[in-house]
Amino acid sequence: MNDEQYRQSAQSGGAQGGLQLTEYNAGDAQQVAKAQGRAKTHELRKRSGLRKLMSDPEGRMWMWDLLAECGVFHSSFSSDALTMAFAEGRRDVGLRRAAEINRLDPNLYVKMALENTKKSND
């Protein structure tokens, strides 16, 4: 897609009728209420999706692997500041996912840990 096609797509709402930006007035109580409702719905859907993922053994295994890839289970120390900053950013993503799981249901995190540490010890 060249620059002109991109501009036209953005003006028309994208190739698939995507997001169109509209003015938002934070002083309008009705607009604020709608935005809060959308945010709450979005959060509930995220929690539901995480619960579905964590209710399945393969989902818990996938999440455990993601946390491991993010470096949650080891130090990100490096004598090179940029390398360490990068590793800490990646680790922060994993820590946030782990915190989400614990907020949702701490027992799910424990179950995931038991299943996956057991497999690595076999």
pTM of the predicted protein model: 0.75
Ordered per-residue pLDDT tens for the chain, 122 residues = 666 665 666 565 554 555 667 788 999 999 999 999 999 999 999 999 999 999 999 999 999 999 999 999 999 999 999 999 999 999 999 999 999 999 999 999 999 999 999 766 76
State the burial class of residue 54 (Cβ atoms within 10 Å of its Cβ: 0-12, 13-18, 19+). Answer: buried
CA distance 69 to 67: 5
The CA-atom distances, in angstroms, between 31 and each of 12, 21, 40, 80, 116 are 23, 14, 14, 47, 46
